[in-house]
Structure 1
Amino acid sequence: MSWVVLVLSGLLEAVWATALGKSEGFTKLGPSIVFAVALIASMGGLAWAMRDISTGTAYAVWVGIGASLTVAWAMISGAEPFSIVKTLLILGLLGCIVGLKLVGDH
Structure 2
Amino acid sequence: MAWLVLVVSGVLETVWAAALSESRSFTRPVPTGVFAVALVASMIGLGYALRTIPVGTGYAVWVGIGAVGTALYGMIALGDSVSLVRILCLLLLVSGIIGLKLAH
Q: TM-score, normalised by structure 1?
A: 0.95
Aligned 8 A contact 1:72 1:87 in 2: no
For residues 5-58 of structure 1, the C-alpha deviation after alignment (integer angstroms, 9 at most, x for no partner) is 000000000000010011010001110000000000000000000000011110
Query: Corresponding residue for 2:103?
Result: 103
Between 80-89 and 44-53, report the one with greater CA deviation: 80-89
Query: For structure 2, which runs of at least 5 residues remain unmatched after alignment?
Result: none
Query: Corresponding residue for 2:73?
Result: 73
User: How well do the aligned residues superpose, as a CA RMSD in angstroms?
Assistant: 0.7
For residues 57-79 of structure 1, the C-alpha deviation after alignment (integer angstroms, 9 at most, x for no partner) is 10000000000000011101133
Q: TM-score, normalised by structure 2?
A: 0.97
Query: Corresponding residue for 1:28?
Result: 28
Number of matched residues?
104
Query: For structure 1, which runs of at least 5 residues remain unmatched after alignment?
Result: none
Fraction of identical pairs, as percent: 54
Moved over 3 A (4+): none
